[in-house]
Structures are given as C-alpha cells and as structure tokens.
Amino acid sequence: STGVVKMQPKAEELKFVTKNDGYVHIHPSSVNYQIRHFESPYLVYHEKIKTSRVFIRDCSMVSVYPLVLLGGGQVHMQLQKGEFVISLDDGWIQFVAASHQVAELVKELRCELDQLLQDKIKNPSMDLCMCPRGSRIIGMIVKLVTTQ
C-alpha cells in the first residue's frame, strides 16, 4: 500500500541522444512510437527531420555486438578505472567489456570482418559462406549475436 512503482515514460517523453543533434524523439508516425521500453539503449535510424523538435523515423533497436561489429568508424579498446572499455566513433559510444579477453576478441572479430568485406569488394565473385575463412568469421558473428 506504500511505495513507488516505476512507470515507463509516455511515448512523447521518450528521447534518445545523437552526437550532432542532442536529444531526438521517435516520430509519431513511426511504428516504434508507442514502444516505451527498448532492451538496448541504441537505435539506428534512416531519416531525421526537424519540425517542432528533432525526430527520427524508420528506426530499429540494435544491441551492443551488432553495433560494435557493423557500426562505422574504428573500434578502440582501453583500460579505464580497472575496466576494459570498447569505444566507437572517437569515444562517443562506449561499452564496458566483461573482461580483457572479451574486449580483445570482439576487437579482433571486427578487424577480421572488416578485412573479409574488403576482400569481397576486391573479388565480388567470392562466396563468403563457401570459403573457410569467411564461413568461420560469419559463423562466429552469428553465434555471438544470437547468444548475446
């Protein structure tokens, strides 16, 4: 009979932060507008518009590993206050890794994926699933993302 129950924010109160625009809101026409809780705090979006405030449309939630593996920019790892931190986009996005090994493995997997994609660009006929290196890298990424 006493105490406080934490309420989810109303759709119009939910906001996210972008590097260049500060706070943005999900546009009311978006299918995600009524979603009041996302498992991950990160969204990717296709369109950003400014009317009464800045809105994003065509957005999807993205979890940490796909963001680290497929996001733009370089991946960096450093030790901060005893924790291993993986950073993207010149340090604007940061994640604390479970251990030094996890941080190193994720960084190495990202480097391998980047190299594999460069190889594919150079040789478009290459079948990534049939070459042993490509299938191992893709298999590891699938396993990591699906068991996250």
pLDDT, residue 21, reads 87
Label residue 86 exposed, middle or buried (CB < 10 Å: 0-12, 13-18, 19+): buried
Fill in the DSSP letter of residue 73: S
Domain boundaries defined on the chain: 11-62, 65-146
- Per-10-residue mean pLDDT of the chain, 148 residues long, equals 65 82 91 87 91 92 90 85 88 86 89 94 94 93 84
Bridge-partner residues for 114, per DSSP? Answer: none
pLDDT, residue 98, reads 85
In angstroms, the CA 61 to CA 41 distance is 8
pLDDT, residue 5, reads 63
pLDDT, residue 12, reads 73
pLDDT, residue 61, reads 92
pLDDT, residue 46, reads 92
